[in-house]
Amino acid sequence: MLSREDNERLTRVGPGAPAGELLRRYWLPALLASEAPENDGAPVRVRLLGEDLVAFRDTEGKVGLVDALCPHRRAAMFFGRNEHGGLRCAYHGWKFHRNGDCLDMPSEPAGTALQARAKIKSYPTFEGGGLIWAYLGPKDRMPPAPDYEWLRAPPTHRFVSKTFEDCNYLQGLEGGLDTAHSSFAHNMKLGDMSELRNADTAPQIEVEPSDYGYCYVSTRRSRPDRNYIRVYHYVMPTQQMRGAVTAMNGATNETPHFDGHIWVPIDDETTNVYNIMWSYDRDIPLTPKFIEEFETFTGRGPNDLVPGTFRLKANRSNDYFIDRQVQKTQTFTGIPGVNTQDFALQEGMGRIVDRSGEFLGTSDRAIVVMRRMMLEATRAVERGETPGGTDPAAYRNVRPYDNFIEPGKNWKDVFAKEIAARF
């Protein structure tokens, strides 16, 4: 269980809150690069860690991230003109560079000293992996830009998408770290014991802490002569990576790859989930057909979203299209789509769940360790220290993996080459 006090410490993400100050020490995805595709294109509303902001790609192709309101009369910068190296407020024409400097003040006398003082709040950005990343913390504590393996994979070998989740980020993160739930929530073939997740519903969990977070491993007894091993990584503060090289039924996956998520708080009660996928090696690109099939299978493809948004059509308002007859006869949940199943259970807890009444078991080990790490990291920030997971050297060469091994063999020895980055 988690005390109410510690739950508050981990779930509140605004400025000054312990988790909010911790999360501001990391580079976080702020939006998809495709949301701001054009130089001098339309500004984009962004809400991140409880702050309302506007992103714009300037004339040079660099992305600015600034306060949603002009520092003059607090007009909405979303309605501004993105032109000639800056964003110009539509109310009185004040124009701002992506670094926050005021470039022009046409409603004031020429040469006014006010121009040098009138800055708009701005945050540094970094573009990589199809995402625009932002750093919202103290500038003197800014870590190097992220360097995950999937960021180094060529565009033909990686894919990112985005979905809106109507609950606190921690509920999504904990769901991602919980490998045991796949035997139930994602059980698509009731009574079929040939399915790996059905054959062993109580995986053994190992957690190995590291400077970036931890590596965790689930072991399922697939049959007497072999175990199914899946190697995951939790990278602080909110990223999970997992192997998807071997199909769950034991057949070879036609497109060996890895996938995972980054849960980024919009505010205390809502989250943007960035879904990442990258190829096993340079000889295996992710084809458009595979990506389309994968996203459709999960229930977050383009046809699964409310047009013009990243919100699933299947959501709390319609009970995620649950079919009780299908639940009785075919699948464990009666809800189509792996992503939708996760959202139904995570959002169904409420926007911020009270964890003080939990009864945790051995399958929750990865969740327990993550909570301890995050709590300690909030206190490290309060002490003026640097939290874990900010140094790219700690995680740049890690990769997840999954495959079968004989019982009694050490997965570290068997997978030694496979769990080292190739990109």
User: Are 162 and 270 contained in the same domain?
Assistant: yes
User: Are 344 and 390 contained in the same domain?
Assistant: yes
pLDDT digits 0-9 by tens, 153-204? 999 999 999 999 999 999 999 999 999 998 888 987 776 655 666 778 888 9
Query: What's the number of domains the chain is made of?
Result: 2
- pLDDT (0 to 100) of residue 190: 74
Whether residue 322 lies inside any domain: the answer is yes
pLDDT digits 0-9 by tens, 317-340? 999 999 999 999 999 999 999 999
Average pLDDT over all residues of the chain: 94
Q: Which residue has the higher pLDDT, 304 or 185?
A: 304
Whether residue 176 lies inside any domain: the answer is yes
Report the pLDDT averaged over residues 50-64: 98
- pLDDT (0 to 100) of residue 124: 98
Percent of the chain past pLDDT 70, that is, above it, reads: 97
CB 413 within 8 A of CB 229: no
Query: Half-sphere exposure (CA, 13 Å, Cβ side) for 127?
Result: 15
User: Are 70 and 184 contained in the same domain?
Assistant: no
Whether residue 1 lies inside any domain: the answer is no
Domain harbouring 211, CATH code: 3.90.380.10
pLDDT digits 0-9 by tens, 217-259? 999 988 888 999 999 999 999 999 999 888 654 444 678 999 9
Domain range for 121 is 34-136
- pLDDT (0 to 100) of residue 222: 81
User: Are 165 and 307 contained in the same domain?
Assistant: yes
Q: Which CB contacts under 8 angstroms, 24+ apart, belong to 1-6?
A: 1/355, 1/356, 1/357, 1/358, 1/359, 1/360, 2/355, 2/356, 2/358, 2/371, 3/356, 4/354, 4/356, 6/371, 6/375
Give the CA distances from residue 245 to residues 32, 192, 257, in Å, rounded to whole numbers and listed in that order.
26, 22, 5
User: Are 162 and 107 contained in the same domain?
Assistant: no
Residue 7, pLDDT > 90, answer yes
User: Are 259 and 184 contained in the same domain?
Assistant: yes
Domain harbouring 132, CATH code: 2.102.10.10
Q: Which of 72, 105, 136 is the last residue of a domain?
A: 136
pLDDT digits 0-9 by tens, 89-134? 999 999 999 999 999 999 999 999 999 999 999 999 999 999 999 9
Whether residue 273 lies inside any domain: the answer is yes
Whether residue 132 lies inside any domain: the answer is yes
Q: Which of 136, 169, 186 is the last residue of a domain?
A: 136
Write a three-state SS string for the chain: CCCHHHHHHHHCCCCCCHHHHHHCCCEEEEEEHHHCCCCCCCCEEEEECCEEEEEEECCCCCEEEEECECCCCCCEHHHCEEECCEEECCCCCCEECCCCCEEECCCCCCCCCHHHHCCCCEECEEEECCEEEEECCCHHHCCCCCCCHHHHCCHHHEEEEEEEECCCHHHHHHHHHCCHHHHCCCCCCCCCCCCHHHHCCCCEEEEEECCCEEEEEEEEEEECCEEEEEEEEEECCCEEEEEEEECCCCCEEEEEEEEEEEEEECCCCCEEEEEEEEECCCCCCCCHHHHHHHHHHHCCCHHHECCCCCCECCCHHHHHHCCHHHHHHCCCCCCCCHHHHHHHHHHCCCCCCCHHHCCCCHHHHHHHHHHHHHHHHHHHHHCCCCCCCCCHHHCCCECCEEEEECCCCCHHHHCCCCCECCC
User: Are 319 and 173 contained in the same domain?
Assistant: yes
- pLDDT (0 to 100) of residue 250: 41
Q: Which residue has the higher pLDDT, 85 or 183?
A: 85
Rounded distance between C-alpha atoms, residue 340 and residue 400, angstroms:
24
User: Are 154 and 245 contained in the same domain?
Assistant: yes
User: Cα 381 from chain centroid?
Assistant: 22
Percent of the chain past pLDDT 90, that is, above it, reads: 90
Whether residue 193 lies inside any domain: the answer is yes
Residue 44, pLDDT > 70, answer yes
Rounded distance between C-alpha atoms, residue 115 and residue 112, angstroms:
6
Residue 23, pLDDT > 90, answer yes
pLDDT level of residue 396 (50, 70, 90 thresholds):
very high
Which pTM value belongs to this model?
A: 0.95
User: Are 386 and 360 contained in the same domain?
Assistant: yes
Residue 59, pLDDT > 90, answer yes
Q: Which of 136, 159, 186 is the last residue of a domain?
A: 136
Whether residue 16 lies inside any domain: the answer is no
Whether residue 331 lies inside any domain: the answer is yes
User: Are 174 and 322 contained in the same domain?
Assistant: yes
User: Are 265 and 361 contained in the same domain?
Assistant: yes
User: Are 297 and 216 contained in the same domain?
Assistant: yes
